[in-house]
Structure 1
Amino acid sequence: MPPLAEGAALVGARVVDPVSSLVAAVPAARGSDEPGPPVEVGRDAAREAAERELNKPMYAEHEPGPVRRVWNWVWEHVFGALESAAFNTPGGWLGLLLILVLAVGLIVALRMRLGALRTAAGPPRAPLFTDRPRSAAEHRAAAAEHARGARWDQAVQERLRAVVRALEERVLLEPRPGRTADEAAAEAGRALPGLAAELRAAAHTFDEVTYGGRPAGQADYDRLRELDERQQHSKPDLTTTRPAAS
């Protein structure tokens, strides 16, 4: 008897090969040795099948989260641009770092220089009167109303406006739109030399409160109120308020 093939078994007087049995059973299960017709799948059905397949959790569990996606975007765009710049810069990354340090130093120097110029020049000065023309009495009434409410900033501003408007009403100052507090004090000091220093101090207080951000207090308002009362009874120096004879 010939030797049995690997995996074969002896059943009675017949040798059974499991591989041969399986091959023989396939046509029997299909019912024919001829291949069946091909299965045709439409485009829509194929798309739906692909979507169902891709929507399975097994595909989504390995996708990067939002933080990872942001990092990937930054790495791709920002670091990619830096790498490209370093590649085209003499010295590579070291040269690019030196250029960045110089640029930051230049920006800081310009900022310090511009800030120093702005500080030296002081804040911009706006006109003393910004609304409709009002009489000195109206400005005094507004100042007193602010003072009663402890709104010292507005009280100081209105009291200085009352002083300047009163000097205009006394024809010691020429009414001029756009005049600043410093200009009014300088012009009024020539007409009232005895109050020149107080007028300059009042204009300085007005500027600090209005443009410098310094909060005013009751003492500031009281000084301006006293100045207003003194200027009403002060005799002007008429030789400085008239044009010189030609």
Structure 2
Amino acid sequence: MPGDVPVEPDADQARDWAREELAGRIYEEAKPGLAERVLQSVLDWLGDVLNGLGGLGTGPGVLILAATAVVLIAVLVLVVRPRLNAKAKKKKTSEVFGSDLVETANDHRARADEAASEQRWDTAVAERFRAMVRSAEERVIFEVRPARTAAEAATSLSGAFPGSGTDIAWLGHRFDEILYGDKAARASDYQRAVELDSTLMHTRPAMADSASLPGMAVPR
């Protein structure tokens, strides 16, 4: 064995290595949120309470405490935890297009109008934003990228249409709030999205995205 390969670190070195490793970004991103940590702390505390009740006999007070602890655990596990998990999954991604199916801008506009006619404003607003992003791809304003997020799309669109930058940023933010947050869309949101979509369709972009596909036509 080479002489410079450590066989077993001492305690101080092991702590330093562990600190450096856990400081890595992958661990930082994997840390549970505040709500998850609180939930886990409560569960741990209730577990300690139940374990401590074992040495107190089986009097009425002890049984009531035990029953209360069990009920609290059931509520936390069956009600709170699923909501936290659902919230975490909801915030996991904010991609504009959630599937590999590539549809035209007009397909998304038709779906948006259909949803609006049924007053399903969340779907209507989301589909209208997708129509704008797909339209920009079709006009070669920026390249087709399935994993593009709403924020990235809004930034690229704002660069191409600086005169509408405020409305574009607003719609990108509303898209995330509606699909990946807990905010509901309104009829006024859809009307504003429709007007923005119409404006962009009739506006020549200020500049092409630097990452546009090579050999494609000049954006129009």
- 1:138 is the counterpart of 2:107: yes
Please name the residue that 2:138 is paired with. Answer: 169
- 1:216 is the counterpart of 2:185: yes
CA distance in 2, matches of 1:191, 1:236: 5
Q: Give the share of equivalent positions with the same residue, in percent.
A: 38
Question: Does the aligned pair in 1 maintain the 2:142–2:156 contact within 8 Å?
Answer: yes
Please name the residue that 1:206 is paired with. Answer: 175
User: Quick one: which amino acid aligns to residue 138 of structure 1?
Assistant: D
Larger Rg: 1
State which of 112, 136, 151 in structure 2 corresponds to 1:182.
151
| TM-superposed deviation, 1:129 | 0.5
Question: Following superposition of structure 1 onto structure 2, how do residues 1-246 of structure 1 map, counting pairs within 5 Å?
Answer: 81-82=54-55, 123-131=91-99, 132-238=101-207, 241-242=209-210
CA distance in 2, matches of 1:200, 1:154: 18
Q: Structure 2: where are the runs of 5+ without partners?
A: 1-49, 58-83, 212-220
Question: Does the aligned pair in 1 maintain the 2:105–2:135 contact within 8 Å?
Answer: yes
Structure having greater relative contact order (Cα 8 Å, sep ≥ 6): 2
Q: How big is the alpha-carbon RMSD for the aligned residues of Structure 1 and Structure 2? A: 2.7
User: Quick one: which amino acid aligns to residue 181 of structure 1?
Assistant: A
| TM-superposed deviation, 1:78 | 5.2
CA distance in 1, matches of 2:191, 2:105: 17
Q: CA distance change for structure 1 residues 80 and 193 in 2, over 3 Å: closer, same or farther?
A: closer
User: Quick one: which amino acid aligns to residue 190 of structure 1?
Assistant: G
TM-score (norm 1): 0.49
Q: Structure 1: where are the runs of 5+ without partners?
A: 1-76, 85-114
Aligned partner of residue 140 in structure 2, secondary structure? coil
Aligned structure 1 segments of 4 or more residues deviating by more than 4 angstroms = 77-80
TM-score (norm 2): 0.54
Q: CA distance change for structure 1 residues 81 and 123 in 2, over 3 Å: closer, same or farther?
A: same
Q: CA distance change for structure 1 residues 182 and 79 in 2, over 3 Å: closer, same or farther?
A: closer
Q: CA distance change for structure 1 residues 235 and 123 in 2, over 3 Å: closer, same or farther?
A: same
CA distance in 2, matches of 1:234, 1:176: 22
